[in-house]
Amino acid sequence: MNYFSEQIVWQEVPGEVSLAFTISGCPLACPGCHSAASWPATAGQPLTPDYFSSRLQQYQGLLTCVLFMGGEWLMDELLLLLRLARAARLKTCLYTGLDEVPESLKPWLTYAKTGPWRRELGGLEAPGTNQVFTDLRTGACLNHQFHQ
């Protein structure tokens, strides 16, 4: 598994300070994708368990969540990282272009954004979006928290 970018984000997961990784190799090829440069699986740098753990250690006490933008196409590797995040007592979120979160990931995720990018419908801030942000602990849709 390679990651294309890594950053601390405040708005992508409401109420959480998240360490976000954009995972390389998304196979969905949504027209208008704003991270098309991350489509090649070899783009970016390896996201090894050791590297991931070192980042969690470095940010200890500052983060509340880890966000994976993609990666569900490398299920076993993603599960390992989710387990490490949970062991560090962090919440977890997946942004996926799939309409459903794969069942095997659900026990390890606190939140998920589902649905492919459709330019004409807009993102989570758009009232008519096809995308859904869900608190998987309760099943509640949190899209309203993205409206301005």
- What is the 3-state secondary structure of the chain? CEEEEEEEECCCCCCCCEEEEEECCCCCCCCCCCCHHHCCCCCCEECCHHHHHHHHHHCCCCCCEEEEECCCCCHHHHHHHHHHHHHCCCEEEEECCCCCCCCCCHHHCCEEEECCCCCCCCCCCCCCCCCEEEECCCCEECHHHHCC
Provide the minimum distance between the beta carbon of 116 and ligand SF4 in the complex, in angstroms, as a whole number. Answer: 5
Cβ-proximal residue to ligand SF4, closest one:
97
Q: Of 69 and 81, which CB lies nearer to ligand SF4 in the complex structure?
A: 69
Q: Of 12 and 56, which CB lies nearer to ligand SF4 in the complex structure?
A: 12
Q: Of 86 and 118, which CB lies nearer to ligand SF4 in the complex structure?
A: 118
Q: Of 29 and 87, which CB lies nearer to ligand SF4 in the complex structure?
A: 29
Provide the minimum distance between the beta carbon of 117 and ligand SF4 in the complex, in angstroms, as a whole number. Answer: 4
Provide the minimum distance between the beta carbon of 3 and ligand SF4 in the complex, in angstroms, as a whole number. Answer: 13
Q: Of 65 and 97, which CB lies nearer to ligand SF4 in the complex structure?
A: 97
Provide the minimum distance between the beta carbon of 32 and ligand SF4 in the complex, in angstroms, as a whole number. Answer: 8
Chain residues binding ligand SF4 by CB under 6 A are 26, 28-30, 33, 35, 70, 97, 116-117
Q: Which of 5, 1, 108, 91 is nearest to 50 (CA)?
A: 1
